[in-house]
Amino acid sequence: MNSRKSRLVFCSAVAGGLVAALALTGAAQTQKSGAPFSPARLWDGKTPDFRGIWQVRDTAYANIEGHPAEKGIAAARSIVVDPPDGKIPYKPDALAQRQANYRNRATADPSLKCYQAGVPRAAYLPTPLQILQSPGNFAIVYQDNHAFRVFHPETRPHFDSADWWMGDTRYRWDGDTLVADVVALTDQLWFDQAGNFHSTEIHIVERYRMTGVDTIEYEARIEDPMVYSKPWTLRTVLYRIKEPGARIIEDECLEDANGVRHHISPYDPKNLLKSDYSRWKKPAKK
């Protein structure tokens, strides 16, 4: 923190440019740029204003560890920042399970069934999320499968007597950083399309911090003694979507004849019942 302050004295003029440059390269390390950013406030004059529509720009949704390019998926480095080698510190048995998951990923990924994505996976999907906020309220709506999380104040205990798909979230403000404690996740979820996984013992501490007007640094510290030899941390950047009229659109899946569900856009005329459902709308009587 001391070095951050001293840098501020000398570098504040270029800090904005530095953040922008790092953002352009997709770097997740903006907190080291030494530019403490003070976000706008809600109408209570206190609460940092995180409202907006946000989305990552990396391909961690495919694999949070570093990965080469595949068809339709750009190569990317690991978003795992701790340990420094970018590898999830699996226990040996768990690593074998991950490898098996990876081999079966074309059919075994729970997201293929249009399930809610879970935490932290929902944060770095290739679809946007919207932060809804007012003094005392904080919620994230994820476009993917219209999942949402209502963040509850940490003054209330976790509702952890059940396993949830999006976990149970309690939050507090640490200065201008929102710190969320997440437990009670089901073990039926993956972190990505590559089979990285956890157990019901998972405990996540998320940190949301605005590093500029249009960037939120997202960090999740993950511990799960059943699966990992030590806690580990992933970090990525959410970028504000600024196109006029941008919004979260409805994301629902339709079943095909085999009962397999597929995402369908509300902009696709096939989403209209009359377009694919012959029983209703019989020919008009003469």
Partner 1 sequence: MKAFPISSCLGFAMAVCVVLSTASSSFLAKHSTQAPANAPSPTLPRLPGGRPDLQGLWLKSAGGFQGLFIGSLDGTNLAAGGARGGGRGARGGPAPTRYEYTADAEAERLDRLKRGYEDPEARCHLPGVPRSLDQPGGLYPVQIIQDEKYVALLHEAMHDVRIIPTNDSPHPKSYWAWDGDSRGRWDGDTLVVDVSNFNGRTWLDMAGNFVDENEHVVERFRLVDAETILYEATITDPSVFLKPVEMRFTLKRVPADQQILEYSCLEGERSLQHYTEEDGGKKVRVK
Rule CB under 8 A: which residues touch partner 1? 43-44, 46-47, 51, 110, 113-116, 130, 132-137, 139, 141, 146-148, 150, 152-156, 159, 164-166, 171-173, 175, 186, 188, 247-250, 252, 255, 261, 266-267, 269, 271-274, 277, 280-282, 285
Distance (Å, whole) CA 184 – CA 162: 6
- Smallest separation, CB 149 to partner 1 (Å): 8
- Smallest separation, CB 221 to partner 1 (Å): 19
Count of CB atoms within 10 A of residue 235's CB? 18
Pick between residue 93 and residue 174 the one whose CB is nearest to partner 1: 174
- Smallest separation, CB 140 to partner 1 (Å): 10
The CA–CA distances, whole Å, from 81 to 64, 77, 181 equal 10, 10, 19
- Smallest separation, CB 252 to partner 1 (Å): 6
Pick between residue 104 and residue 134 the one whose CB is nearest to partner 1: 134
Pick between residue 15 and residue 53 the one whose CB is nearest to partner 1: 53
Pick between residue 153 and residue 225 the one whose CB is nearest to partner 1: 153
- Smallest separation, CB 68 to partner 1 (Å): 32
Pick between residue 115 and residue 124 the one whose CB is nearest to partner 1: 115
Cβ density class 74-106: b for 16+ within 10 Å, e for less: eebebbbebeeebebbbeeebbeebeebeeebe
